[in-house]
Amino acid sequence: MSRVYNFSAGPSMLPEPVLKTAQAELLEYEGSGQSVMEMSHRSAVFDEIIKSTEARLRRVLRIPGNYKVGFFQGGASTQFAMVPLNLMTTGSADYFVTGNFSGLAAKEAEKFGRVHIAASSKDKNFTYIPNVKTADYSPNASYIHICQNNTIFGTRFAELPQRPGVPLVADLSSCILSGPLDVSRYGLIYFGVQKNVAPAGMAVAIIREDLLGQAGPAVPAMLNYKTIIDKESMYNTPPCWCIYMTGLVLRYIEERVGGLEAMELINTAKAALLYDYLDSQEFYKNPVEKRYRSLMNVTFTSPTPEMDKAFCTAAAEAGFVNLKGHRLVGGMRASIYNAMPHEGVAKLVQFMEDFRKANA
């Protein structure tokens, strides 16, 4: 077997020890005589899996007691509708548009109330995170929405916007578990698991409990945070396999990595390796303002679109796959989530330098 270095923006690499555990347990989970994929979600054996997964998430992220955790389906795209359906109590909300998904979130929210764009970085093709003055906010926003790490454009918020009394709602799909987080600064955090946690098919929401129970009577049961959270994510059959895999990844972070502080050190070093190389030469360029550079998604271009294409082809042949940039940006993008080993980035940098020498 020859595993590749997969730089996909999501779904993306999973830690190999986690995959090996899943493989070993695939036909029989811990003496239960069943695969996790076959278990009744109401059985004692699955109950232990879902409860321990939530407990691990609470420990790893240090989630305060006044926050509830729910496991949902439909990805962050469904959360884009759930946020306004559950939280837009004043009829309006403030959105930051700093990339593709934050724009989609704002567009979806417009179906349910007034969306005020507090700030946008569209003027420079989303290569920075805009500053916001108090006057830019609307006077009666129910919440402020951000996408904290912009997967496509390779940026991240350096500081969080904060307004007293206005909950901050954040899509953390592409940076969750990459380092420690102060959950108490948010009203609601949500993330699709398929980038930095587990296989695609689940979103997790972490919500301050006073924000629950505000959905109107015509909100679908499955889009009401309270429905799912009141039933401890068992209102209907949950995505059991994703929950199990999330638990395995969290166990890996706790027991093998040593928690999110250690994870952040690893990620910072990994990203520095690539950014330092990018800044050391002129062949490749990264367009992002340095303080807003993402630790998870690193964009770069070679001198021409034709060269970009040749780079991606040669890289794939050398075992570095999914490096093509998003069509909105062009060039290349290396997504270096938690599960990408340091060695993968080091080898990519070496490959980039060899390619540069051959083509400069």
* CA separation for the pair 190, 206 (Å, rounded): 6
223 binds its own copies (CB under 8 A): yes
CA atoms in the 13 A half-sphere facing the CB of 138: 18
Instruction: Identify residues 26-45 at the interface with its own copies (CB under 8 A).
Output: 26-28, 32-41, 43
222 binds its own copies (CB under 8 A): yes
Q: Which of 117, 132, 183, 200 binds its own copies (CB under 8 A)?
A: 200
3-state helix, strand and coil shares in percent for the chain, rounded to the nearest 5: 40, 15, 45
CB of 58: closest distance to its own copies in angstroms? 23
Q: How far apart are the first and last CA of the chain?
A: 34
Query: Other CB atoms closer than 10 Å to residue 130's CB: what's the count?
Result: 18
Rank residues 233 and 301 by Cβ distance to its own copies and give the closer one: 233
134 binds its own copies (CB under 8 A): no
Residue bearing tokens 């587990």: 198
111 binds its own copies (CB under 8 A): yes
- What are the E-state strand segments in 9-107? 67-72, 92-97
17 binds its own copies (CB under 8 A): no
242 binds its own copies (CB under 8 A): yes
CB of 193: closest distance to its own copies in angstroms? 10
Q: 25 is written with which tokens? A: 């347990």
DSSP annotation of 43 reads: S
221 binds its own copies (CB under 8 A): yes
319 binds its own copies (CB under 8 A): yes
User: Please, what is the Cα angle at 124 between 158 and 335, to 5 degrees?
Assistant: 55
DSSP annotation of 256 reads: I
Residue bearing tokens 């109330």: 113
Q: CB-based contacts of 29: which residues, under 8 Å, 6+ apart?
A: 35, 36, 39, 45
257 binds its own copies (CB under 8 A): no
| Count of residues of this chain found to bind its own copies when the rule CB under 8 A is applied | 69
* CA separation for the pair 181, 184 (Å, rounded): 9
Rank residues 282 and 317 by Cβ distance to its own copies and give the closer one: 317
192 binds its own copies (CB under 8 A): yes
* CA separation for the pair 357, 360 (Å, rounded): 6
Give me the helix-helix angle, 342-359 and 260-279, nearest 10°.
10
Q: Which of 70, 103, 238, 331 binds its own copies (CB under 8 A)?
A: 238
CB of 261: closest distance to its own copies in angstroms? 26
Phi, psi torsion values for 263, nearest 5 degrees? -60, -45
Rank residues 70 and 239 by Cβ distance to its own copies and give the closer one: 239
317 binds its own copies (CB under 8 A): no
Q: Which of 49, 56, 75, 189 binds its own copies (CB under 8 A)?
A: 75
214 binds its own copies (CB under 8 A): no
In the complex, which residues of this chain contact its own copies (CB under 8 A)?
Answer: 1-4, 6, 8-14, 16, 19-20, 22-23, 26-28, 32-41, 43, 73-78, 80-81, 85, 108, 111-112, 192, 194, 198-202, 217-223, 235-242, 245, 319, 321-322
